[in-house]
Structure 1
Amino acid sequence: MKNTGLNFRHLYYFWVVAKEDSITRAAERLGVAIQTISTQLGLLEKSIGKSLFAPQGRRLVLTEAGRIAMRYAEQIFALGEQMEEALADLDVGRTMRLTVGISDSLPKLIASRLLAAALALPERVKLVCYEDRFEALLGELKVHKLDVVLTDRPVHSGTVLRVFSHLLGESELMLFGMPALAVKYQSGFPGSLQGAPLLLPTRNNAIRGRIDHWLEAHDVRADVVGEFDDNALLNTFGRNGLGLFAAPSALAEDVAAQFGAVPVGPLHGVKEQFYAISNERKIKHPAVEAILSAIHGKDLTSDHKERT
């Protein structure tokens, strides 16, 4: 195998400088002299034969070569952090770590049900979950800071990311509400929804357009009293009786147990899909594979898999 001669200490100093946008701040963070940082950067640039930074006022900005190097450095040091954490987990008897990104639009009850498959593995799994917007999570997945992203949409077919979108399953939606509110709209559903207070996802959510289309198809003019980016916040408002809200019908028992809400009526034809987004890897993560084959035979699971 060819030896590149790359010095990883030099690369680490470059990575910190790029993160801090300043040699001075990088030196403070690392606890070394400014001259040490400058010398290490010079040696790195000499070894690869390209300039990595260009001055812009008092700041340093990455050159094209620097941006390429930074993408690789992000992956290298993210994997290094994961290695340290995995080795530390051995001290407490854990043999596997699973780092999951959960889209803020994905029902958390669905996420917990899917992740239960990973926790059921014979090996002891340490689960680390982060919640964020879909696009931000894909960025973290790209640099291997996450093992998998659970979300309600596939990656767009035109993306340059080398990832797989795995359709785990789907469930038809149903409207729920707290008992005192739900009883007003159960009889005569869906015509009873005229003027009903609804809590809906914002229009950038994958399911919102399908709900709007369903309302139009049934000639229902409801009162949208709230729109939410975050699914958990939407459910919290629903639990406080401020409006009716949609959730997967497969989770009716969970919604009743967690929120005390009861079904109002089904949104026939409106289905929410659940995906796992994973990197293209030569070595597959056992816990990710467990998620991809989770809940076989139930309405939240499908054997379909598509490459984006």
Structure 2
Amino acid sequence: MAQLNYNHLRYFWVIAHEGGLGRAAEKLNVAPSALSVQLQKLELQIGHQLFERVGKRLRLTEAGRVALDYADTVFKTGEELLNTLQGRVDLDRKVLRVGAIPTMSRNFQLEFLRPLVGRDDVELVVRSGALRELLQDLEALVIDVVLSNSPAPQDARSAFRSLLLDEEPVSVVGRTGPAPFQFPADLHGAPLLLPSLGSEVRSAFDRMIDLAGVRPIIMAEVDDMAMLRLLARERQAYALVPPIVVRDELKSGMLRELHQVQGLAERFYAITQVRRFPNPLLDELLPGATSKD
């Protein structure tokens, strides 16, 4: 049985981390042409192309991303050996890269990731960004899953899967308010904190109050649920939020849930990409959802 050539693997590892043949060749003190030959030999041995050329840059293929994860583990072993002999044990860890749009509730993100939080063998990388940017990163294999309040756009070329994780009711909350609260009449002329105009919840809510002829005073439009939560705590104003966003404030009595808006719900999606080599950690968060088509 053929053995993996670890010299070739190391050359690939350096190319991937340096971002190209030129910088890697300089670091390894070898000619770029020789480095290219070694890379081709590795690709031939494992049966997969590891890079694709995009303009003047090299970009990892899906197989390349998987190979890099393994190479990181392999070459980390030497460091672990030194750490162990010097009394500093460094645990091998798997990495899950998560993207989340700003409107995604931090409490919901925590609940979604809870099976992996605190595990010594798992490193979580969570970044926030616009859905379009995160989907580009997902397609480029930079991240493994995107958490969003809306599904990924679908077209004939799309390889995205949008899995509905949960639906949460949306309520009017506030520090104080009349009891019973009359919706939507009590919002007329009242200060109100709202999600930004681009969200599905905001669009549906605007249609509701327009039909009822209600005109609140919009104090803020916020696309970040964490900021909306803080404003709801600090301002003497009503806020339109899923209760999970302000769960701790409702529990402590700092805020009150005044009215649950019927027919209005916040949806939470996990968006993945169809991959030959899905991140196995996703199976612990999305059982069965990462299998290949």
User: 3-state SS of the aligned residue for 2:182?
Assistant: coil
Q: Over residues 143-179 of structure 1, what are the superposed CA-to-partner deviations in whole Å (9 max), with x where a residue is unaligned?
A: 2222211111110012744221111111120111223
Structure 1 residue 219 displacement after superposition: 2.8
1:130 aligns with 2:137: no
1:140 aligns with 2:137: yes
For residue 100 of structure 1, what is the amino acid of its counterpart?
Answer: V
For residue 214 of structure 2, what is the amino acid of its counterpart?
Answer: V
For residue 211 of structure 1, what is the amino acid of its counterpart?
Answer: F
C-alpha contact (below 8 Å) 1:163/1:277 kept by paired residues: yes
Q: Counterpart in 1 of 2:55?
A: 67
Give the Cα separation in 1 of the matches to 2:102 and 2:130. 6
Q: Give the TM-score normalised by structure 2.
A: 0.70
Residue 139 to residue 120, structure 1, CA distance change in 2 (3 Å): same
Q: Counterpart in 2 of 1:264?
A: 258
Give the Cα separation in 1 of the matches to 2:264 and 2:111. 21
C-alpha contact (below 8 Å) 1:99/1:128 kept by paired residues: yes
* Aligned-pair identity (%): 21
Unaligned runs of at least 5 residues, structure 2? 1-7, 41-51, 81-88
Q: Counterpart in 2 of 1:96?
A: 94
Structure 1 residue 119 displacement after superposition: 4.0
1:115 aligns with 2:113: yes
C-alpha contact (below 8 Å) 2:193/2:228 kept by paired residues: yes
Structure 1 residue 278 displacement after superposition: 1.2
For residue 76 of structure 1, what is the amino acid of its counterpart?
Answer: G
User: 3-state SS of the aligned residue for 1:187?
Assistant: coil
1:176 aligns with 2:173: yes
Give the Cα separation in 2 of the matches to 1:127 and 1:43. 33
Give the Cα separation in 2 of the matches to 1:189 and 1:200. 15
Unaligned runs of at least 5 residues, structure 1? 1-5, 49-63, 294-302
User: 3-state SS of the aligned residue for 1:195?
Assistant: coil
Give the Cα separation in 2 of the matches to 1:287 and 1:7. 24
Structure 1 residue 81 displacement after superposition: 5.7
Give the Cα separation in 2 of the matches to 1:258 and 1:101. 30
Q: Counterpart in 2 of 1:165?
A: 162
For residue 132 of structure 1, what is the amino acid of its counterpart?
Answer: G
Q: Counterpart in 1 of 2:189?
A: 195
C-alpha contact (below 8 Å) 2:189/2:216 kept by paired residues: yes
User: 3-state SS of the aligned residue for 1:153?
Assistant: coil
Aligned length: 264
1:205 aligns with 2:205: no
User: 3-state SS of the aligned residue for 1:146?
Assistant: coil
Give the Cα separation in 2 of the matches to 1:286 and 1:8. 24
C-alpha contact (below 8 Å) 1:150/1:275 kept by paired residues: yes
Give the Cα separation in 2 of the matches to 1:255 and 1:283. 41
Q: 1:221 aligned to 211, 215, 219, which one?
A: 215
Structure 1 residue 287 displacement after superposition: 3.1
For residue 177 of structure 1, what is the amino acid of its counterpart?
Answer: G
Residue 82 to residue 193, structure 1, CA distance change in 2 (3 Å): farther
Give the Cα separation in 2 of the matches to 1:275 and 1:74. 23
Structure 1 residue 125 displacement after superposition: 3.0
User: 3-state SS of the aligned residue for 2:142?
Assistant: coil
Q: Over residues 216-253 of structure 1, what are the superposed CA-to-partner deviations in whole Å (9 max), with x where a residue is unaligned?
A: 23332111111122221122111112532222245664
C-alpha contact (below 8 Å) 2:62/2:277 kept by paired residues: no
State how 1:149-160 maps to structure 2 within 5 Å.
149-158=146-155, 160=157
Q: Give the TM-score normalised by structure 1.
A: 0.67
User: 3-state SS of the aligned residue for 2:132?
Assistant: helix
Q: Over residues 103-162 of structure 1, what are the superposed CA-to-partner deviations in whole Å (9 max), with x where a residue is unaligned?
A: 1111111111111134498x8433222122212221222222222111111100127442
User: 3-state SS of the aligned residue for 2:210?
Assistant: helix
User: 3-state SS of the aligned residue for 2:135?
Assistant: helix
For residue 225 of structure 2, what is the amino acid of its counterpart?
Answer: N
Residue 159 to residue 259, structure 1, CA distance change in 2 (3 Å): farther
For residue 67 of structure 1, what is the amino acid of its counterpart?
Answer: G
Q: Counterpart in 2 of 1:291?
A: 285
